[in-house]
């Protein structure tokens, strides 16, 4: 009997090996093992170093298996541009059987698969954001209004040290809340604190080790393991979203939208039963999707920025000199002022480069059988654009492995943006909120650097630039000392 069990076990393992063998002319990569694929060969807490190691061994295009699912990792500017720009449609899909999809119940706009639903909602999002002032003075006014609350908080902290993490998360959240919900919240408001707490936690869970286990091993999904917390959080924020929508229904005036929720409800009324993908249940995830995209990336980029500025005081001082010269006689900055601030522009872009906030982008999926760099990639293959490999790629940057604004300055000290700068990804799936994020980063940094000096606390020890891995990279908690400054005359 024991012999038969051993024989059957061997046959079963052999079957699994055959089942997950690579398709013909598929990109090379480490050999997967049954059930786990290549999961056990990665540091699940932070696989970025493993991705670099595998790139060095197998090349710019290599493959991994998430469980039994084939996955292709793209590295380097030329490869990612070829896939996401030149062959945008072939690589525009989103994998649909991952934990993040299940938590969001297939809703939103970021993780929705390529097709009519995504096209309708992306077009609607871009149009509505533009109508509510994206790229216009009205959006500037919203951002500057929120910055005034940061200034108030910092004024109270002059002469002391603070942890800026919550402050920047609250501010970024409020800016997108004004567009989505037509309201801002006090920084101590329970709704705002709960919203950010849930999003921050889920950002870590959905790109952490338990999410990898969930994605690789479907048989464990019903077990009471730590990834269940993400689903509990998802239910909570969906209910919070539903409450906001119900409040809007009671007070809105048809044809006079105050925010994106009103616009979507107007769209529902206009469309009726036309068979489109617009529906109230999708609206709940749509606004949550945009809120997350507009909060976590911007706040973490700001946190990274001030971490580096404090520890590169010469960069901070040169920015302040340029800001003082350009804004002399003006009460506040305008987004248009960026054209006269080449060095400050270079610093902001260098902050985004080293922040590497979304290192693995959002996973893509092939929409048809395709070919890339001589390899065959079947339809439905998960594709991971490793943006880290572009943002610090040798040959693309003057100083790829250090913080240096010269990466964005030419020989005449004028601002230049290399094509390899793609922190928002690229192609048809480029980040919806890129324009808003660029405006926020410029106005926040310029306004604060004009008024304050930020100093690394004497008792803080050496700065730790190693971020915490998740759906977004988050700087480790730190404190910053605040000093008041008067603009130079």
What's the pLDDT band for 462 if we cut at 50, 70, 90?
very high
Residue 309, helix vs strand vs coil: helix
Q: Which residues of 47-64 are buried (b: 16+ CB within 10 A; e: fewer)?
A: bbebbeebbeebbbbbbb
- What is the model's pLDDT at position 136? 63
The whole-angstrom separation of Cα 143 and Cα 141 is 5
- What is the model's pLDDT at position 274? 74
The whole-angstrom separation of Cα 433 and Cα 349 is 16
| In the chain, % of residues over pLDDT 90 | 64
What φ, ψ does residue 374 adopt, rounded to 5°?
A: 85, -5
- What is the model's pLDDT at position 51? 95
What's the pLDDT band for 347 if we cut at 50, 70, 90?
very high
Q: SS3 helix, strand, coil % of the chain, rounded to 5?
A: 55, 10, 35
What is the residue extent of each domain of the chain?
2-484
pLDDT tens column, 10-26: 555 555 555 567 788 99
Q: What is the pTM of this model?
A: 0.92
What φ, ψ does residue 18 adopt, rounded to 5°?
A: -65, -40
What's the pLDDT band for 195 if we cut at 50, 70, 90?
confident
Residue 480 near residue 456, CB atoms below 8 Å: yes
The whole-angstrom separation of Cα 50 and Cα 359 is 13
Residue 232 near residue 151, CB atoms below 8 Å: no
Average pLDDT, rounded, for the chain? 90
What's the pLDDT band for 7 if we cut at 50, 70, 90?
very low
pLDDT tens column, 78-116: 999 999 999 999 999 999 888 988 998 888 888 899 999
The whole-angstrom separation of Cα 122 and Cα 128 is 10
Half-sphere exposure (CA, 13 Å, Cβ side) for 201? Answer: 18
What's the pLDDT band for 167 if we cut at 50, 70, 90?
very high
- pLDDT higher than 60, residue 330: yes
Ramachandran assignment for 423, one of left (phi > 0), alpha (psi -120 to 50 degrees), beta (any other):
alpha
- Lowest average pLDDT, out of 60-64, 141-145, 269-273, 332-336, goes to 269-273
| In the chain, % of residues over pLDDT 70 | 94
Residue 272 near residue 262, CB atoms below 8 Å: no
Residue, of 292 and 455, whose pLDDT is higher:
455
What is the average per-residue pLDDT within 17-46?
Answer: 84
Half-sphere exposure (CA, 13 Å, Cβ side) for 375? Answer: 24
What's the pLDDT band for 336 if we cut at 50, 70, 90?
very high
Any idea which architecture 2-484 has in CATH? Orthogonal Bundle (1.10)
Opening angle at CA 373, ends 367 and 375, nearest 5: 65
- Which of 444, 478, 481 minimizes the C-alpha distance to 347? 444
Q: Which residues pair with 61 in a beta bridge?
A: 74
- What is the model's pLDDT at position 322? 98
Residue, of 461 and 294, whose pLDDT is higher:
461
Computed from CA positions of residues 127, 185, 229, 465, in that sequence, does the dihedral angle turn out positive or negative? Answer: positive
- What is the model's pLDDT at position 14? 55
- pLDDT higher than 60, residue 302: yes
């Amino acid at each position: 009997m024991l012999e038969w069990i051993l024989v059957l076990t061997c046959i079963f393992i052999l079957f699994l090996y055959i089942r997950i063998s690579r398709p013909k002319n598929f990109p090379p990569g480490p050999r997967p093992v049954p059930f786990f694929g290549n999961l056990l060969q990665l540091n699940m807490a932070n696989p970025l170093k493993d991705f670099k190691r595998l790139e060095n061994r197998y090349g710019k295009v290599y493959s991994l298996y998430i469980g039994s699912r084939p996955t292709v990792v793209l590295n380097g500017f030329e490869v990612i541009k070829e896939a996401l720009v030149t062959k945008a449609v072939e690589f525009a899909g989103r994998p649909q059987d991952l934990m993040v999809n299940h938590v969001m119940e297939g809703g939103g706009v970021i993780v929705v698969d390529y097709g009519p639903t995504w096209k309708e909602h992306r077009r609607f999002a871009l149009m509505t954001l533009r109508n509510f002032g994206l790229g216009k003075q009205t959006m500037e006014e919203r951002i500057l209004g929120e910055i005034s609350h940061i200034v108030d908080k910092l004024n109270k902290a002059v002469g002391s040290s603070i942890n800026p993490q919550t402050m920047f998360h609250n501010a970024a959240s409020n800016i997108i809340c004004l567009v989505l919900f037509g309201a801002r919240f006090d920084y101590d408001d329970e709704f705002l604190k709960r919203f950010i707490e849930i999003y921050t936690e889920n950002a870590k869970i959905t790109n952490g080790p338990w999410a990898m286990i969930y994605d690789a091993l479907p048989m464990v999904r019903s077990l009471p393991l730590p990834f269940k917390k993400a689903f509990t959080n998802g239910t909570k924020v969906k209910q919070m979203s539903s409450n906001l929508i119900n409040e809007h229904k009671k007070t809105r005036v048809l044809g006079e939208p105050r925010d994106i929720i009103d616009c979507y409800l107007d769209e529902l009324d206009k469309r009726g039963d036309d068979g489109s993908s617009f529906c109230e249940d999708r609206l709940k995830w749509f606004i949550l999707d945009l809120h997350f995209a507009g909060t976590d990336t911007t706040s973490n980029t700001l946190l990274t920025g001030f971490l580096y500025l404090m520890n590169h005081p010469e960069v901070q001082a040169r920015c302040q000199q340029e800001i003082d010269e350009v804004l002399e006689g003006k009460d506040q900055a305008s987004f248009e002022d960026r054209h006269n601030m080449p060095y400050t522009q270079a610093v902001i872009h260098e902050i985004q480069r080293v922040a590497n906030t979304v290192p693995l982008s959002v996973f893509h999926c092939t929409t048809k059988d395709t070919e890339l760099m001589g390899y065959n990639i079947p339809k439905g293959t998960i594709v991971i654009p490793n943006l880290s490999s572009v943002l610090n790629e040798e040959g693309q940057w003057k100083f790829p492995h250090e913080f240096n604004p010269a990466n964005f300055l030419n020989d005449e000290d004028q601002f230049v943006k290399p094509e390899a700068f793609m922190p928002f990804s690229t192609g048809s799936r480029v980040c919806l909120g890129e324009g808003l994020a660029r405006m926020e980063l410029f106005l926040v940094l310029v306004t604060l650097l004009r008024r304050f000096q930020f100093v690394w606390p004497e008792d803080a020890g050496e700065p730790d630039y190693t971020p915490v891995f998740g759906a977004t990279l988050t700087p480790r908690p730190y404190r910053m000392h605040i000093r008041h400054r008067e603009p130079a005359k």
